[in-house]
Amino acid sequence: MGFSLKRKNSDSFDKKAWTVLGVWSLAYCFGYGLFLVNRGIFSLAQLIVCQSLAPIFSIYISKDHMRSPLSFTNGALSLTPVILLLAIAYFQGLSITGQKSETNLFQILLVVFTTFVISQTTARIISRTKTSEWSQPRLAAFNVCLLLPITWVLGFPGFDTKSLSAFFFFQSLTIGIAFLLVQRFYVFGLSKSEPFMSALFLCTSVPISLLTEAIFNGASIPKLELFLSILYLIFVARKLKKLRVGEC
């Protein structure tokens, strides 16, 4: 995409960086808004596939794999634990019976997946060219300007501008501050971590979510899926240990 890997910390206007940041925010807000509006029609298996594959696509599209000391083949092999997550999605799919898919479900899911990939790809580009101190407040400003209008345009059920209250704005402010902290560490982590390892870390949201649902919310998660989730976390922990001692 013509971006230098050299980080630019000057305060001069950087058209390319601002453009990438705007695309990141647009993809994130549109994907999140589309998910909120259609969240009832997606199965857990479909979301797991999206969350498992998006980080892998983003590594190669953003050319972040070129930062890795691993060869192309070894880098690809290092991502094999993601197969465990795809297996979870497969078994989740088998457990869904008697549900009729809507005709446009695949198209909507494809759009959501594409926004995941674009969001993570642009985040990787920004992490290479700008510091988190530069990107995080500007991304937050973009999101504030885009998220509510996009959600309103998409027709989020129950969203009524006339019913907005002080409590609503307090909730929005609290959630916004949490997002600011997450995004700051997200960009910082992408800039410091090994690209393939960071992809595996991003995928940990899948097993952690399943384990959280089972432990704290009492959700009925099949034992095989819980086993695969724990196995994935063990694989990632072992890879992290090897990376720290310089073995990979």
Q: Which of 20, 5, 1, 31 is nearest to 146 (CA)?
A: 31
21-64 pLDDT, tens digit each:
999 989 988 887 787 777 677 777 888 888 889 999 999 999 99
d(CA 100, CA 147): 31
Specify the higher pLDDT residue, 34 or 243.
34
The pLDDT value given to residue 106? 78
Burial 88-105 (b: 16+ CB within 10 A, else e): bbeebeeeeeeeeeeeee
The pLDDT value given to residue 194? 86
Q: Is the confidence at residue 3, as pLDDT, over 50?
A: no
Q: Is the confidence at residue 17, as pLDDT, over 70?
A: yes
The pLDDT confidence band at residue 218, using thresholds 50, 70 and 90, is confident
The pLDDT value given to residue 212? 84
Quick one: tokens of 22?
A: 């705007």
How many other C-beta atoms are found inside a 10 Å radius of the C-beta of residue 230? 14
The percent of residues above 70 in pLDDT, for the chain, comes to: 73
3-class DSSP assignment, residue 79: coil
The pLDDT value given to residue 1? 42
Q: Is the confidence at residue 143, as pLDDT, over 90?
A: no
pTM, full prediction: 0.75
170-190 pLDDT, tens digit each:
655 666 666 666 666 777 788
Q: Is the confidence at residue 162, as pLDDT, over 90?
A: no
Mean pLDDT (whole number) for 69-88: 85
